[in-house]
Amino acid sequence: MNALTFKIELLEPLLVAQLGSGDENSAQSLDYIPGSVLRNALAARYITERNLEADAANDPTCRALFFDDKVRVLNSYRADHLGERSLPTPLSWIAEKEALGNWRPDDKPGDRLTFYNAAVDETVVQEMRDIKTLEKAARFCRLGEDEVELVGSARQVNVHIQRQHKRELKTKGESQVFVYDALAAGEIFCGAILAQDDAALETFRQMLMNAPEFNIGGSRSAGYGRIRISDVTHNTDWRETHENENGKGEIVIVLLSDAIVRDKWGQFSDDIGALLGASALRCYRKLKPAGGFNRKWGLPLPQAHAIQAGSVFVYAAGAVEQARLESFVAEGIGEHRQDGFGRIAVNWNTRRELSAQQIALAPKLTTVSLANDAVSQRLAQRIVEHQLRKELDQALQREVLVLRIKGGSKSALARVRLAARRSVFKGDLSPVEDLLKHIKKTGIDNLNKTRIGSGTLFDWLKQRTEKRDAEQQLNLSLDKLPQVGGVRAELTDALRNEYTARWIEAVVKRAQKEAQS
């Protein structure tokens, strides 16, 4: 492929907010730089330099560079330790939950984590007990000859307080608190622009070389979004990945970016089979919302459902024409390919067993501007409690999906779920305790029909009410609780009871679904 590659250094924290990242006063940045963000920034610079303004869409050169899909600005992913562009971690990479949770490469740098590729051998799913995808540990990776490097990005949490002006002290109102979870300054990302036309790439090269610093993302006036471009290189034979031989001859396709695909009825689809003309033997995929913001009109763009980067689809040998595969690898699939959507790799990883020696996750930084007064301390306490609850909610949703649950009595499960819901509202576990204390033998037998791991639901409920170990069940590290301005979050007894009840309710809810299937 004919490509222009470059590196992006974050001179300031970068805030490219993802959909559904929080309440109206908070925003959480994506962990990569979308191609649409960089393309729009370059388009704005090109239009300004040539005074095109309203005539931009009618200018043939401008249209060819920014409005057609002949030029594709790919997502910029974090650089690995070799300075190369990392790629999304495949969703088919799985490991034992316990092994992944206990792996601490910083403590023992020589330790290796062994994990498996279910796309190559689906039997490993049945052989393993508690499964967890490596995507939970790191969203990006570098696939080497001997090992895999899991790549993460350092993040920076900034808390901003908007106070009334001194001249407006008589006006009633409250201070506004804004929490921004952004990519940390100093991070290095690798980007690429693809085009068949050398003249188009030369135009982009001149733009990047002549003025390597500019702003992207949100909250630019608040000290966010300043970047610097370097190492701009024109490569006539650039490849995102290298194809490998597959022992079974199967075709393994990995999405290297989100893909927006529609079915024959024009609806958003979670399957790429219609484009390939084949049905997948198995797949490992997730869906996510995709959207954006039009700065020209000051309005959000229409949202779409996209297949998440890292999703994997496996097809039988010879099910897809080689020429079609090569075309999709070069051009991409689906919609918005000019913004980096729809990138795929074919047989990128064909090994059944892999290992990771290190994980390049930098610590999460916190920068806070708080006054030393009672109001600010209360605000900080609310912020850290909100962050702790968010972490607990995310952990709860994550852990309940990997829990092994079988069988169950619908009536017994409904009673437990009702008691758990009452415990959540009441703030203690007495409703669940009373249920277990006064339940009859028939009820116990019904609860024993549900298996949680290797034990029964009744025994599991007794252990939860006695231990009240929500933090252990949800794999929450008490050493890494959120902290803002010297105020640290605390897992109080009330919060521990509440999330133990929420954990019970979530497990029973999933058991009900298992009983219905």
Contacts by 231-235, CB closer than 8 A, 24 or more apart:
231/5, 231/6, 231/7, 232/4, 232/5, 232/6, 232/205, 232/208, 233/4, 233/5, 233/6, 234/3, 234/4, 234/198, 234/201, 234/202, 234/205, 235/2, 235/3, 235/4, 235/5
Is residue 200's pLDDT more than 60? yes
Q: Which position has the higher pLDDT, 127 or 241?
A: 241
Name the pLDDT band for 478 (thresholds 50, 70, 90). confident
Summarize the confidence of residues 341-363 as an average pLDDT: 76
**In whole numbers, what is the pLDDT of the chain averaged over residues?**
82
Residue 151 has pLDDT above 90, yes or no: no
Determine the pLDDT at residue 120: 86
Q: Which is more confident, 38 or 110?
A: 38
pLDDT of residue 295: 64
- Supply the pLDDT for residue 75: 94
Q: At 215, list the tokens.
A: 């702003």
pLDDT of residue 314: 92
When pLDDT is cut at 50, 70 and 90, the band that residue 111 belongs to is low
Cα separation, 362 vs 184, in Å, equals 10
At residue 296 the predicted structure's pLDDT band, cuts being 50, 70 and 90, is: low
Ranges 43-52, 118-127, 160-169: which has the least confidence: 160-169
More confident position, 73 or 401: 73
- Residue 312 pLDDT > 90: yes
pLDDT band for 486, please (50, 70, 90 cuts): low
Q: Kindly give the pairing relationship between strand 353-360 and strand 148-151.
A: parallel
Helix or strand or coil: residue 300? strand
Percent of the chain with pLDDT over 70: 86
Could you give the percent of the chain with pLDDT greater than 90?
23
Q: Which of 331, 350, 353, 354 is nearest to 342 (CA)?
A: 331
Per-residue pLDDT tens digits for 203-250? 999 999 888 888 898 888 878 889 999 999 998 989 888 777 666 788
Segment 135-159 mean pLDDT? 81
DSSP one-letter code for 50: T
First to last CA, the chain: 48
At 243-286, the pLDDT tens digits run 776 667 889 999 999 999 998 888 888 899 889 888 899 899 99
Region class of 277: left (phi > 0), else alpha (psi between -120 and 50), else beta: left
Q: Are 44 and 265 in contact (CB under 8 A)?
A: no
Contact yes or no for 6/206 (Cβ under 8 A): no
Q: Give, for 162, the enclosing helix (H) or strand (E).
A: strand 155-162
* Predicted local distance difference test score (pLDDT) of residue 344: 94
Gap between the Cα atoms of 442 and 216, Å rounded: 63
